[in-house]
Structure 1
Amino acid sequence: MRKITIILLSILILASCKEQNKSKNQKLKVVTTTSMVTDLVQNIGKDLIEVEGLMGSGVDPHLYKASEGDVSKLLNADVIFYNGLHLEGKLVEVFEKMQHQNSKTIAIGESLDKKTLIGSEYFASNYDPHIWFDIQNWKIITEYVIEQLCALDPKNADAFKKNGQEYLFQLDDLQIKLDNIISTLPKEKRILVTAHDAFNYFGNAFDFNVVGLQGLSTATEAGVQDVQKLANFIIEKKVKAIFVESSVPKRTIEALQAAVRSKKHNVIIGGTLFSDALGNPGTKEGTYIGMFTYNVDTIINALK
């Protein structure tokens, strides 16, 4: 709490200096939160903007706390793109304060019709924030980001629209590719068990029964009863594999595997999925499209 207070005070003190330090000839300076948002903005802005992401590979946005070093990044930004829907839980207060200081903060999740969002049984009036796991959501968000960048930097609007359209075509191709891969797995085998509830949009989009050991936020701890209940479910449904997540400690899934084995049933750990963060920059999994393809390949190969 003390760290957040210091950050908020820093914003109040430094916000007035922002306009003085900005040059008209500079590229649009964009700060993003999660690696998925960073990848999206970079695909649209390319070398016409400067993008700096706060969260790298393996970082859990549910638990991420702004550091003092983040303050200068946020204050020097012309615009901040973040997921919203309480994904970046511990940054919400910082973003709200910055809005009051006339800083441009954009929650991409606000572009989606709330009727299409998945409600949360844990938090009233809140929604599942893992919206990127439905490609149709990501296409709507892509169009929204194009619109926002065009408004912020009109001189490069044509380039943003061109880049964005190319990316939308890539998302169309991704949808077709993943549909074809998933069609090879019988529907009765489409049961995805992971560390936390990050894949509900994926489940709806690709007809999977998705079960997470923890809730929508990794801040929600799984108890012994949760582990035993899910172990019984795995045995009943004859689930062949369960999955670790790159941004969540694997001990919870290992505990689940041990619980299943203690009941004289075997279940393998089918691999590590990327849920709340992309892979390392420069790798296939370091992009949204590469991450999604890798995840689906891993799931299908393990559950076959």
Structure 2
Amino acid sequence: MLRATTALALTLALTAPAHAELSVVATTGMIADTARQVGGDLVTVQALMGPGVDPHAYRQTRSDIVATARADMVLWHGLYLEAQMEEFLLELANTNTVIPVADALPRDILLGSADYADRFDPHVWMDPAIWSDVVQTIEGVLTEALPDDSASIAANAATLQAEIDALITYSDAALASVPESARVLLTAHDAFNYFGAAYGFEVIGIQGISTESEAGLQRIGELVNLLVTRDIGAVFVESSVSDRNIRALIEGAAARGHEVVIGGELFSDAMGEDGTYEGTWIGIIDHNVTTIVRALGGDAPEGGMQGLLQ
């Protein structure tokens, strides 16, 4: 790994080529997809972190340093999501256009973090209403970079907002169909607190907000007891987190005569494969909502909101 100072030296040494469109590098898939939707044909967007990649632990590679140095704009999440890249991105901002798109969110809508003092839970994309604010931030920075194309950018953002509104309507109705006693979402780490706050679900993560935190035997034992005493029958794995701890819970519950099944795989910190519906932000939220509803006894179509889920 190159240190941030080395990265800046390389940045200064590189000469960015001319681009037909605005070249944007985004750290996460959620940001990259949103920038593509809002920018349309006016932008080319590269995501540094692909499917299954954990942003909490991700460190910039040599190719990432070159890509960010050459880009017209770098969009990152902020709120300490990219914890291992933060120093590099902050230094890069001294010489390049580097924008933390979630840092502009009003503090009164953010949830606190038990893992890090004076920091917030970064998983805001789990609440579509909050992510709408990030869409507006991305619309603003793209408009500032491409003022002559402001009308096209505004139209693209409006189209995306209409899709978000439809997603919220679907999610509200589907999740309301889950029996109140079953509205417990137990996952590998605490990525779903904004989801829980938006839709009235109790959210329990084996690990904390960061996947860098460790779950000890005591924590596993406490959660096994919770599964048994509250008769919770389904837990969920995540696409970007090992299922080791979830399997330990299931085995621990079985040893006490209580059957627990995996209700499905959820997208938490990363999206699905490029070119698929689950490779879009709308797609991963649709997938998560539909999977949770169907596993916990609610009513949702197998194909999700648009019938596009695989």
Q: Could you say what secondary structure the match of 2:152 adopts?
A: helix
**What is the aligned partner in structure 1 of residue 275 from structure 2?**
282
Letter in structure 2 aligned against 1:240:
G
Q: What is the aligned partner in structure 2 of residue 96 from structure 1?
A: 90
Match of 2:111 in 1: 118
Displacement, 1:265?
0.9
1:49 aligns with 2:43: yes
Give the whole-Å Cα distance in 1 for the aligned partners of 2:275 and 2:189. Answer: 27
The ranges of structure 1 where at least 4 consecutive aligned residues each deviate by more than 4 angstroms after the TM superposition are none
2:220 match = 227
Q: Letter of the 2:141 partner, please give it.
A: Q
Q: In structure 1, what is the equivalent of residue 191 of structure 2?
A: 198
Separation in structure 2 between the aligned mates of residue 12 and residue 259 of structure 1, nearest angstrom: 52
Residue 105 of structure 1 corresponds to which residue in structure 2?
98
Q: Distance in 2 between matches of 1:234 and 1:45?
A: 45
| 1:178-221 deviation digits (Å, cap 9, x = unpaired) | 11111111122100000000000000000000000000000001
Distance 2:245 2:6 in 1: 38
> What CA deviation, in whole Å up to 9, does each residue of 1:24-49 have, x standing for no partner?
x6311100011111110000011111
1:230 Cα deviation after fit: 0.8
1:15 aligns with 2:18: no
Give the whole-Å Cα distance in 2 for the aligned partners of 1:275 and 1:4. 28
Q: Measure the CA separation in 2 of the matches of 1:283 and 1:33.
A: 19
Q: Compute the RMSD of aligned alpha carbons.
A: 1.2
| Contact 2:7–2:88 (8 Å) recurs in 1 | no
Which of 294, 297, 301 is the matching residue for 1:301?
294
TM-score (norm. length: structure 2)? 0.93
Q: Match for 1:97: what amino acid?
A: E
Correspondence 1:84-233 to 2 at 5 A: 84-100=78-94, 102-233=95-226
CA separation in 2, counterparts of 1:4 and 1:214?
Answer: 29
Structure 1 length as normaliser, TM-score?
0.95
Question: Which residue is 1:260 aligned to?
Answer: 253
Matches of 2:92 and 2:165, distance apart in 1: 36
Per-residue deviation, 1:240: 1.4
CA distance in 2, matches of 1:270, 1:115: 33
**Runs of at least 5 residues in structure 2 that lack an aligned partner in the other structure:** 298-310
Name the SS for the 1:122 alignment partner: coil
Q: SS of the counterpart of 1:295?
A: helix
Aligned-residue offset at 1:236: 1.7
1:160, 1:16 → 2: CA distance?
Answer: 32
CA contact (8 A) 1:35 1:53 kept: yes
Report the secondary structure of 1:264's partner residue.
coil
Q: 1:16 Cα shift?
A: 5.0
Runs of at least 5 residues in structure 1 that lack an aligned partner in the other structure: none
Confirm or deny: 8 A CA contact 1:43 1:167 kept in the other structure: yes
Alpha-carbon deviation of 1:296? 1.1
Instruction: Report the counterpart of residue 53 of structure 2 in structure 1.
Output: 59
Q: Deviations over 1:259-286 (max 9, x none)?
A: 1111111111111100000110122211
Q: Is it true that 1:243 corresponds to 2:240 in the alignment? A: no
Where 1:185 maps in the other structure, the secondary structure is: coil
| Whole-angstrom distance in 1 between the partners of 2:237 and 2:229 | 21
**8 Å Cα contact 2:189/2:208 also seen in 1:** yes
The whole-number CA distance in structure 2 between the counterparts of 1:294 and 1:8 is: 41
Structure with a larger share of its residues in helix = 1
1:90 counterpart SS class: coil
Q: State how far apart, in whole Å, the 1-side matches of 2:63 and 2:38 are.
A: 26
Alignment equivalent of 1:68, drawn from 51, 62, 67: 62
SS across alignment from 1:124: coil
Maintained 8 Å contact 2:2/2:62 = no
Displacement of 1:14 in angstroms is: 3.1
Q: For the Cα contact (< 8 Å) 1:240–1:302, is it kept in 2?
A: no
Equivalences, count: 297
